[in-house]
Structure 1
Amino acid sequence: MAAINVHIGRRRIFRSDSAKHFDLSIPIDFDAEGLSAFGVPPASVQTVENAWFVGDTRRDGSCNVRVCQFIPHCHGTHTECVGHIVDQDLSVTEILKDAWIPAVLVSVEPEQGVDCSESYIPGKEKDDALITRRTLIERLKTLDDEDFQRALVIRTLPNLPAKRTQRYVTAPYFSNEAMEEIVRRGVKHLLVDMPSVDRMEDGGRLSNHRLFWEMPPGSHDLNRCKAPFRTITEFIFAPDEAWDGYYLLNLQIAPFMGDAVPSRPLIFPVEAL
């Protein structure tokens, strides 16, 4: 145990315990048909083998050496940057500089598209489930401390364990108004338990990604991005034991060069002193 005192905002001190945290990551599982999305096969692994070496101790090899095949965007928790939608090469490791990030976790219940007055480009279907601006505002009424909204962690309800292993074809997503509200609040790091902040089949528009990074519709030019410092983390799982409230986020990422990398978000409860 190590107590950490942190200064957040003006003259406010909070305490956190480094030994008490919630791991929001879903690991990439190579030994079972785990989490996947967008119709891609599950992650896979194979033994390195040639004429003089077998990378499997169960086959009398000296050590275990394997080739892992996975797609960060489709298998497990990952963090992405605006490099996801621009022509220029940009890596998450170049963008993410924060080690301890004030964060707020909220649980939201998506609304049915047919009952929802909010919009989405290029369109929504009646069976779609949307996270709306109205819902976000309602849920954040009692958690409206702007100092903690540098990171916003969204848990959708119901919070089923199947989120860890599901093969997603459809999933909830944000209305455009909800994403505009997130941007208005100054959120720098957005974490969600869905495969995408956009509709999974949207004709390639990615309108919510563009709203979050403040990119014009249809543009792939990094020079036209107004907020390249923001990140989106998808495929998290927030356990029920983590209550809605304020935390410190430690967003750990794999040291890969890429627009999306496997990540391990840890949230630490805080208390005011």
Structure 2
Amino acid sequence: MLLENKRLLITGVLTESSIAWRVARLAQEQGAELVLTGFGRGLRLTERMAGRLPHPPEVLELDVTREDHIAAVAQALDIRWGRVDGVLHAVAFAPQHTLGGGFLAAPWADAATALHVSAYSFVAVGRGFGDLLAGAGGGSLVGLDFDGSVAWPAYDWMGVAKSALESCCRYLARDLGGRGTRVNLVAAGPLHTVAARGIPGAEAVSGPWPHRAPLGWDLADTEPVARVVCALLSDWMPAVTGEIVHADGGAHAVGAPPLPPKDEHSSFGGTRRIHQGD
């Protein structure tokens, strides 16, 4: 019961393929009490998915780009719980034509939308729920990331937004650390989520991933990522903050897929075959 008696706010639950959905289910199995959020057309989807959890939680409307929404949810949770032990920020968005090769053509207004939803909102959530997290002895804020250290095919302005998110994580960790709040990101490998399916050409990244990752990678299995998120939301990592934890099968650590096993007769450290008489 890693999260027993923890009270968690989870954003981003849309379908069973959502990482946030698996986090919510696993968190309940580990003893947590939840509130989910959704907004706009996705609110109905979140409500539907909440009903499929073992203990259907309340769903509140939250557009993370609106300060009044954040304040309203914070007030509702203050009345309901008086504290929040953890928050999962699982929100990202970029207009369609800023992805799939649209990097150079994207106007600032669209790039700004990607940065606002996918990066700045992480700061807004940390600020808006900071008092409730501090009321829980510090609590934990966790965001979902995709390795922003390199330029990926098709990812374009979402990649830039993820780089910004990683920087925001470090600054939030600095500014909220004095209140005991831990701030971390989980950099997941590619998964067949709704968001991923909306990126034209995303298969150029996801396709080779299972072969590149030393531990292998299942594009349909969100549980390995959800377990890392739940660990960070728990009390088991009290000294970890400002960190990017990779849950990607180890692909971030290698530059290319591993070479096939060498022929048992190959010379050590080289490719020259050893023949009788050499």
- Indicate whether the TM-score tops 0.5: no
Question: Higher helix fraction: Structure 1 or Structure 2?
Answer: 2
- TM-score calculated relative to the size of structure 1: 0.31
State which structure, 1 or 2, has the greater radius of gyration over its C-alpha atoms. 2
Question: Higher strand fraction: Structure 1 or Structure 2?
Answer: 1
Higher-RCO chain (CA-CA 8 Å, sequence separation at least 6)? 1
- TM-score calculated relative to the size of structure 2: 0.30
